[in-house]
Amino acid sequence: MAEAKTRVLLLFGGRSAEHEISIISARFIVDSLDRSRFEPLLVAITPDGRWQLLDEEQLTTTKDPREAKLEPGGPVAWLRPMPDRADREGTLHVEGRAPISFDVAFPVLHGPMGEDGTVQGLFELCSVPYVGAGVTGS
């Protein structure tokens, strides 16, 4: 019997000046994931702060930050704080769709509101396990 794949929420883009670099970093991570073990769930944050669910085809393939951009039109997505949740599994809420569960969040955000503990604090409030340093370490 095959083991279930670990669903990884990749959160990238963001509101910092390093928005485009974050998009390129996310592409490298998606391309490097062992698909026999991991299933990516892509959530982009637009420069104005809107979270949107993307398909892989919508994630840029360029390595040039001047050409990196997010394709518009993905459905709005969000996390809901659930501090008493015991199962430590994430739930992504998506406009017009059923909620999507995931196993771990991987923040691929650079600069302020990504590497400064902000998003890590959100994950803590939502009882979502995540990759990387915690709130204080960030």
* Distance (Å, whole) CA 72 – CA 51: 11
User: What tens digit of pLDDT does each residue of 76-135 get?
Assistant: 999 988 766 666 678 999 999 999 999 999 999 998 877 888 999 999 888 899 998 777
pLDDT of residue 43: 97
Closest alpha carbon to 120 in 103, 132, 111, 104: 132
User: What tens digit of pLDDT does each residue of 35-73 get?
Assistant: 999 999 999 999 999 999 999 888 878 778 788 888 777
Strand, helix or coil at 77?
Answer: strand
Contact 77, 95 (CB under 8 A): yes
pLDDT of residue 137: 73
| Cα distances (angstroms) measured from residue 9 to each of 13, 58, 64 | 13, 15, 24
